[in-house]
Amino acid sequence: MVPAVDLIFVAILGGLWGSFANVCIYRLPKDKGVVSGRSHCPKCKKKIVWYDNIPIISYLILSGKCRKCKREISLHYFTVEYINIMSFLIIYFLFGISMTTILLMILSVSFLIIFLIDLKHFIIPNSLTFSLMILGFIKSFDPNLNSIFPNYINSLIGGFFGYGIIFSIIFFYRQIRKKEGMGLGDAKLLAVIGFWFGWISIPFVIFLSSIFALVFVIPDLIKKIKK
C-alpha cells in the first residue's frame, strides 16, 4: 500500500511541475526567460497573485476566469497540470521512491512540454531534446537503475538508431516525393527515446506512433473517399 501522504505529496509536485510546464510551453517558443518574470493574464496583462496561481485549485475556484478581467483562462493550462499530476502518480505507483522515478518524471514533464509546443508551433526546441539526450546517455552509466533502462552501449546505439531511421525516412521521402514528410525534430525526439530506453524501444515506438497516426488519418481518408 502506498500511504496517502505520499500520494498527496506526489500530486502537489505534479501540479507544480505541470504549472512550470505551462510557463515553458508559453515562453520557450518566444525565447523569453522561463525563470524570470511573473505570470500574468494573457488577455488583460494584469499580474496574477500567488493565491490565484495554485495549480488546478485556482482554476476551479475562479471557475476558469481571470479575477481581474473575468475573461476565460484557456482550459489548456488546467489540462496540462492535470495530465502531469496523473503521470507523476502513475510513475510513482510503478517505481516508488527511486532515482528511476525522478528520471521518468523529468522525462514525462519534458515530453508534455515538447508535445504541446510542437502542437502549437510545429517546432521542437533543441534546448529540450539535446538536454534529454545527454541526460538519457549519462544515466545509462548508473548500474543501480531499474532494468527498463539500458546500459550505456545500448543507449548509444539506441540514440543513433532513432535519429538515423527518421533521418533516412526524411531523406528518401524527399528523393521520391520532393517534399518534407517529417522534420528533423522528430529524428531528435526518437534519438531521445533511443538514448533513454535503448535500441529495442525504437521499432516499438515507430509501430505505436504509426497506429496512432493511422487513427488520425483514417477518418480524414474516409471523408475524402466519400467526396
**Interacting residue ranges for Zn ion, rule: CB under 5 A:** 41, 43-44, 66, 68-69
CB of 132 to Zn ion, least distance (A): 34
Closer Cβ to Zn ion, 6 or 72, answer by number: 72
Closer Cβ to Zn ion, 39 or 151, answer by number: 39
CB of 60 to Zn ion, least distance (A): 17
C-alpha cell at 107: 522525462
CB of 21 to Zn ion, least distance (A): 21
Backbone angle region of 61, left / alpha / beta, with phi > 0 → left and psi within -120 to 50 → alpha: alpha
- Cα distance between residue 113 and residue 135, in whole Å: 17
Closer Cβ to Zn ion, 27 or 68, answer by number: 68
DSSP class of residue 148 equals T
DSSP class of residue 48 equals P
Closer Cβ to Zn ion, 66 or 85, answer by number: 66
> How many Cα atoms sit within 13 Å of 94 on the Cβ side?
16
CB of 53 to Zn ion, least distance (A): 13
Residue 125 phi, psi (nearest 5): -60, 130
Closer Cβ to Zn ion, 73 or 193, answer by number: 73
Question: Is 132:107 a contact under the CB 8 Å cutoff?
Answer: yes
Cα separations (Å) of 77 from 95, 111, 120? 27, 16, 14
CB of 62 to Zn ion, least distance (A): 10
